[in-house]
Structure 1
Amino acid sequence: MRLVTYASPTGDDRVGLVVGDQVHGLEPGVSLLDLLDAGTLAAAAEQTPSEMLPLAGLTLRAPLQPRAIRDCTGYLQHLRNCQGAADSPVDERNHQFPAFYFSNPAAVVGPYDDVAIPPGSEQFDYELEIAAVIGRTGSNIPLDEAESHIAGYMLLGDWSARDLQINEMELGLGPAKGKDGATTLGPMLVTPDEIEPYRSRNAFDLGMTGYVNGELVSEGRWDTIDWGFPDMITYTSRGTTLRPGDVIGSGTVPTGCLYEHFAKDPAGFRGWLRHGDEVRLVVERLGEIRQRVVAGAKPQPLSSGY
């Protein structure tokens, strides 16, 4: 199944099942998170549509508003590509577990929404990633059971204010305001059976591309990932509980952000994202997100007492 959340002509947001080029709207008042909580996602295909609309032209929201977002470092080559600018080697501990940080669920935006540059940032960037959505509760999940907890996959656009991120990470607390502005999820939730024929290594043989103003900037493949989602789920569930609607991010596919290009060739770097730029991120079988970068607010001053 492929499911979207869309703005219905009746004025509310609804979950819809994508069938060809049509959307079969489900009953109003039920969110994708509600379906996951109730364990009725699979039954959505059997429901009588409340409305049937062409997919083209619909306003799509983020498929769901997640309870939590954990973004992992699945692609170690991404870290290697960045190390030149960061002037630090890849820590050996990245080979021992898929490190992650918590992102901001309140900052989730839809697949075609404008994205504002965070206040005070002059080095705005995108990151091309995959999201796995947890479909059922689990704690201390064994590796051989981890995939059974995945309800589906979608694109994840991790928007990053690199100057803010680097400045605050020197304090040793991880990314905070540098990743706080926006996270894109969409355009649809794709259930695992839809991409099973493409299984390869510890992921799926599907292309991932990113464009800025029509220029191809990022190009990679999902199955080059080092830590697959089963490892991520097993690790992130240690000593805690993953809930339906939690999102696990894959980390950035190699070449999947501007920072990598800056690190590899500062003199030939194309520059950071600016007001008016259009970013398009595509993953085969999962769809695409397309967003315009807009100017953000000015940072409000802090007290001068320190």
Structure 2
Amino acid sequence: MRIARWAHRGAVGEGFVIGDGVVPFPRGLTVADVLAAGLAELPELAAEVEADAATSAVPLAEVDLLAPLVPASVRDFVAFEEHVEGVTASVDGASHVADEWYTFPTFYFTNPHSIVATGDVVRPPATERLDFELEVGAVIGGVAGSDGRDLTPAEAAGHIFGYTIFNDWSARDIQGREMKVRLGPAKGKDFATTLGPWITTADEFEGLVDDEGFLPIGMEVFVNGVRIGHDLLSNMGWPFGDLVAYASRDSRVVPGDVLGSGTAGNGGCLAELWGRAGELTPPPLAEGDEVIMRVEGIGEIRNTVGRARPVPEIPPARTRSRARERA
């Protein structure tokens, strides 16, 4: 099943994507409600709308898809070894994967308030190195009897409600500057993250998951019609169940959380290719560029790069005396 949010005639709708149309949930339910109830409750809900779907559906062509959920939080992992190899070459001049990468799946928190939908114009900060990142996001749903804390990988896999395409837009020059202070990425990332076009429920992929929990579905990204990168999601170093389990360690995952896979290898972002080439080839994204991402079994998202928005100036740090008492 596919779950979506959309705008139509000035109102927001939330419900199922059935064929080439959208059908609202019954009883005014929202995506947040459905995620909280969990995947086990979804078939009964779908049965409620099935009889009326033919008459109540609105064609997809007549709606504007919104991001498929309002995330409770967004964690983004770095689970593809090949991506790390290329990006470290871009940043440090030499390809290297730290020993610590292999120990645990590392993530950072990104901004749940800067989520954009497929079709939106993305307005970046003032940057000379705008980049995309081809990822898949796992969306967490509720599980009866579990508070989402300290999960085993097997338990964690059961908390995955479904999957969506995830584009972690990145201003690489800003990211590189702030990470020299041993923090971040932050402002190099938090201006936009695309999620969409909808959530495809986890049960749609049950026949594809291998014995270790990996999902071998194809991913690809195009800039202005040219395919820049493609990979299999199963090239992650850990399956999603492990990522969710690690996120829950000494913490919690809750319905509406989104966990990004990290950037695919083999051209999943420009920075990887810059590191391998030793130069900015292909060039950084520029105003007017169209970025399209496609993931097997989920669908397609597309965004156009807009003009950087002007922002107020902030002065550099002032020299201080380091006095310990007021004058």
Q: TM-score range by the shorter chain?
A: over 0.9
Q: Is the 8 A contact 1:17 1:44 kept in 2?
A: no
Judge which range, 274-283 or 32-41, deviates more: 32-41
Change over 3 Å in CA distance of 1:73–1:305 after alignment to 2: closer
Q: Which amino acid aligns with 1:188?
A: W
**Larger Rg over CA atoms:** 2
Q: Which moved more, 1:218-227 or 1:15-24?
A: 15-24
CA separation of 1:69 and 1:298: change in aligned 2, threshold 3 A: same
Question: Normalising by structure 1, what TM-score?
Answer: 0.94
Q: Cα offset for 1:44?
A: 2.8
Q: Distance in 1 between matches of 2:169 and 2:259?
A: 16
Q: Give the stretch that moved more between structures: 15-24 or 143-152.
A: 15-24
Match of 1:44 in 2: 45
Any residues of structure 2 matched to 1:289-304 within 5 Å, and which?
Answer: 289-303=301-315
Q: Distance in 2 between matches of 1:68 and 1:268?
A: 33
Question: What pairs up with 1:273-288 in 2 under 5 angstroms?
Answer: 273-288=285-300
Contact 2:116-2:194 within 8 A present in 1 as well: yes
Aligned partner of 2:23 in structure 1 is 24
1:258 matches 2:260: no
Contact 1:103 1:180 in 2 (8 A): yes
- CA displacement, residues 260-304 of structure 1 (integer Å, 9 cap, x when unaligned): 111111347121000000000000110010110001212321135
Q: Sort the Cα spacing of 1:52 and 1:83 in 2 relative to 1 into closer, same or farther, 3 A.
A: same
> What is residue 2 of structure 1 aligned with on the other side?
2
Which position in structure 2 is the counterpart of 1:138?
148
Q: TM-score, normalised by structure 2?
A: 0.88
**AA partner of residue 112 (structure 2):** P
The aligned residue for residue 197 of structure 1 is: 207
Cα deviation, residue 29, structure 1: 4.5
TM-fit CA distance, 1:97: 0.3
Shift of 1:42: 4.0
Q: Which residue of 2 aligns with 1:65?
A: 70
Residue range with higher mean Cα deviation, 218-227 or 49-58: 49-58
Equivalent pair of 2:215/2:239 in contact (CA under 8 Å): no
Q: Partners of 2:316 and 2:122 in 1: how far apart?
A: 30
Q: Against the structure 1 CA distance between its residues 92 and 304, is the aligned structure 2 distance closer, same or farther, given a 3 Å change threshold?
A: closer
Give the aligned partner of residue 14 of structure 2. 15
Name the amino acid aligned to 1:68: S
| SS at structure 2 position matched to 1:199 | coil
- 1:233 and 2:244 correspond: yes
Q: Does 1:224 align with 2:235?
A: yes
Q: 1:47 to 1:299 in 2, by over 3 A?
A: same
Letter in 2 for 1:115: V
Q: Secondary structure at the match of 2:158?
A: helix
Match in the other structure for 1:34: 33
- Aligned counterpart for 2:83 among listed residues 69, 78, 85: 78
Q: Which amino acid aligns with 2:67?
A: A
Residue 65 and residue 154 in structure 1: after superposition, are their counterparts in 2 closer, same or farther (change >3 A)? same
User: Which range is displaced more, 29-38 or 237-246?
Assistant: 29-38
Per the alignment, do residues 212 and 140 of structure 1 end up closer, same or farther by CA in structure 2, a change over 3 Å counting? same
CA distance in 2, matches of 1:182, 1:28: 32
Q: Which AA in structure 1 matches 2:264? A: V
Q: How many residues align?
A: 304
| TM-superposition CA deviations, 1:125-166 (whole Å, max 9, x none) | 000000001102400001221110011001001000000000
1:246 corresponds, among 254, 257, 260, to 257
Given the alignment of the two structures, is residue 94 of structure 1 paired with residue 101 of structure 2, yes or no? yes
Quote how far apart the aligned CAs of 1:181 are.
0.4
SS at match of 1:14: strand
C-alpha RMSD of the superposition: 1.7
Could you list the per-position Cα deviations for residues 152-183 of structure 1 after superposition, in whole angstroms to 9, with x for gaps in the alignment?
00100100000000000011112010011001
SS at match of 1:197: coil
Once the two structures are superposed, what CA deviation does each residue of 1:194-240 show, in whole Å capped at 9, x if it has no partner?
11222235322211000000000011111111111111111110111
Residue range with higher mean Cα deviation, 162-171 or 48-57: 48-57
- Which shows bigger deviation, 221-230 or 21-30? 21-30
Q: 1:197/1:159 Cα in 2 relative to 1: closer, same or farther (>3 Å)?
A: same
Counterpart of 2:35, as a letter, is: L
CA contact (8 A) 1:279 1:292 kept: yes
Change (3 A) 1:268 1:100: closer
Partner of 2:110: 103
CA contact (8 A) 1:31 1:64 kept: no
Superposed displacement of residue 4, structure 1: 1.1
User: Runs of 5+ in structure 1 lacking a partner?
Assistant: none
Structure 2: state its 5+ residue gaps: 319-327
Residue aligning to 1:125: 131
> Quick one: percent identity of the two aligned structures?
39
Q: Which shows bigger deviation, 47-56 or 260-269?
A: 47-56
Asked if structure 2 preserves the Cα contact closer than 8 Å seen for 1:280 and 1:291, the reply is yes
